[in-house]
Structure 1
């Protein structure tokens, strides 16, 4: 269908240039690790047309007077389905024993397509650490020209439904999520088929049994993806109290790891790296203010909250008389 000149002029004025769209599509394919065929199918265009467009021969090959229609379709799709693969982090990650445990199981679930649970009290920095691990992993894998593995972070909000969770997972993987539950699962499976992948589902204590069963299906069915559930003690209480209903889940869990608080020597090393060596009395006061009673565990024991430690550090650094420590000081926790 021929475009009227006045309409063509309006489209040209509101659509990026051919070169700009070609560049954006190539970047989109690289980050999302999609083939041209996969991308074209999602946009709803023929793969040969997209391929010819990217080669710069669309007008001469198709006999069209303009390539604005395909440009417009590609731009509208990318605007509607932005890529949210995490590669950026904020703050420094100290290699505490908790971090090493989370890193070990992050790698294991990704490479072995396993499922595991990591749970702990508020302040054990599950969100902060997994955000770092995911960004660190994706930065490394993005350079592998579409052959690298992928890690995705998904926050599980209160009372999230199976469909809402799948839509969040699809969005994280840059997959259109307008289909039925079965359609989204099929789209995710197709997308994950060519690479090892892991989904970290944070605040997983908010997941109900129907939603957990949808997650299990993604791990059960080929190509399978790794799943790491991160949450509070309420998450493990759900697995214990509803064991009969979660029999299939419990049979597939590789492990359930409880995170303790930061050890005192680790906390001391972090404080010294951030503030410099502190007088014993001042250090004791800072750590005492960072202790929290874990009301959710059976033992009701106290632990050092990483969140509180860094809040105390931030408060001290904000003081006008604070002097930064020598940059050559030890920068990592033992």
Structure 2
């Protein structure tokens, strides 16, 4: 068992600390086990067995990660917007339906770009202080203090850096957080891109339009993306050479509220079920509660 976990660590480039966390034990306990000084190694080996068995099952099953990233007509628009914001150093908004590939495309686009900072907002991190602590962690600045200290520290760190900040799930940010972000963007002269669902944009043009006017007037580019913008060529790029009926079914799912993400999950589950024909796709979609 010791040889197996060491081989697993070497294969995946894991440190003792990372491996111990995966197993569910402390690093010192794991170190004692590896050196043969742990008094009850059977309890640890049961945990190691569970970890290795899970990994084996993951490798033998088809998952969404096995479908390589493909540039769709929607992802092209996301990339163009990101690049425009990066060059112009403005505030841009990418918003629209869930499951159309906004986040996946952003991650692919950002790979290898040392000037891009990516953070994901959440309801728990929507207020200014919480969000700026998150942003400060990514930038390795101070993580505590009053909101004004955090704000000034971020301005100092970002000014002259030519950085780009991409905020996913930006609909969770409160008005005061967005206004403070606008101030940082103007002070530091950097690019800020907000990615989210319809809510992030409707906040600015709906009932709260007056409150958001300052931010709204400074948006350099807006990109609205919907599931019905997928075209047949997109499905072929993502799923490869399938028969026309299968591709039509997958396109129907892409056009539904489940989007491309839903189509990928249906295809992945159908693959694990051993049938990615039109019949298999339709049956799996029905099992998952997706009407096609």
**Correspondence for 1:126:** 102
Say if 2:104 is the partner of 1:104.
no
Deviation at 1:264, TM superposition (A): 2.3
Unaligned runs of 5+ in 2: 1-64, 277-292
Give the alignment's TM-score, normalised by structure 1. Answer: 0.57
Task: Report if the CA contact (8 A) 2:164-2:191 is conserved.
Answer: yes
How much is the aligned-residue C-alpha RMSD, in angstroms?
Answer: 2.2
For this pair of structures, how many residues does the alignment match?
A: 208
Which string of whole-angstrom CA distances, capped at 9 and with x for unpartnered residues, describes residues 3-34 of structure 1? xxxxxxxxxxxxxxxxxxxxxxxxxxxxxxxx
Say if 2:185 is the partner of 1:219.
yes
Task: Report if the CA contact (8 A) 2:235-2:247 is conserved.
Answer: no
Deviation at 1:320, TM superposition (A): 4.6
Give the alignment's TM-score, normalised by structure 2. Answer: 0.65
Task: Report if the CA contact (8 A) 2:68-2:238 is conserved.
Answer: no
Task: Report if the CA contact (8 A) 1:111-1:196 is conserved.
Answer: no
**Correspondence for 1:268:** 236
Which string of whole-angstrom CA distances, capped at 9 and with x for unpartnered residues, describes residues 266-295 of structure 1? 1133221xxxx22222332333344314xx
Q: 2:232 & 2:140 partners in 1: Cα distance? A: 42
**Correspondence for 1:232:** 197
Q: Which moved more, 1:110-119 or 1:310-319?
A: 310-319
Deviation at 1:318, TM superposition (A): 2.0
- Residues 80-95 of structure 1 aligned to structure 2 (within 5 Å): 92-95=68-71
Q: Pick closer, same or farther for the CA change 1:313–1:321 going to 2, 3 Å.
A: closer
Q: 1:290 & 1:120 partners in 2: Cα distance? A: 14
Find the structure with the greater CA-based Rg.
Answer: 1
**Correspondence for 1:312:** 266
Match of 2:119 among 127, 140, 154: 154
Task: Report if the CA contact (8 A) 1:112-1:226 is conserved.
Answer: yes
Q: What stretches of structure 1 move > 6 A for 4+ residues in a row?
A: none
Q: Pick closer, same or farther for the CA change 1:291–1:99 going to 2, 3 Å.
A: closer
**Correspondence for 1:181:** 147
Unaligned runs of 5+ in 1: 1-89, 139-149, 294-303, 323-334
Say if 2:161 is the partner of 1:195.
yes
Deviation at 1:158, TM superposition (A): 1.5
Q: Secondary structure at the match of 2:256?
A: strand
Instruction: Considering Cα pairs closer than 8 Å and 6+ residues apart, tell me whether 1 or 2 has the greater RCO.
Output: 2
Task: Report if the CA contact (8 A) 2:72-2:237 is conserved.
Answer: no
